[in-house]
Amino acid sequence: MTVEMVTDIMQEAIMVILKTAAPPLLVSLTIGLTVSVFQTVTSIQEQTLTFVPKAVGIFACLMLLGHWMLNNMVTLMTDLFSNFSVYIR
């Protein structure tokens, strides 16, 4: 196994991680920003107000995109395990 092969595997794994983690993180960021603007406009300074909307938003995101996210991870692992004999040499 060469350094180039390891680098390619690491690059592919990092890209899958970023693609998989991006949707829930963006949903959480958007909801947090919206609630923060709402708190600023209404002068409500409750720290726990963002928790429930974020939890609901992330849950909805996982319900909608969970199948796609799992397929990305399974495809990566299938590719790694199917080429395992190449990596051993």
Q: pTM above 0.85?
A: no
How high is the pLDDT of residue 38? 92
How high is the pLDDT of residue 31? 96
47-69 pLDDT tens trace: 888 899 999 999 999 999 999 99
For the stretch 12-20, contacts whose Cβ atoms lie closer than 8 Å and that sit 24 or more positions apart, written own/partner, are 12/76, 12/79, 13/76, 16/72, 16/73, 16/76, 19/72, 20/69, 20/72, 20/73
pLDDT in tens, the chain (89 residues): 788 989 999 999 999 999 999 999 999 999 999 999 999 999 888 888 889 999 999 999 999 999 999 999 999 999 999 988 888 87
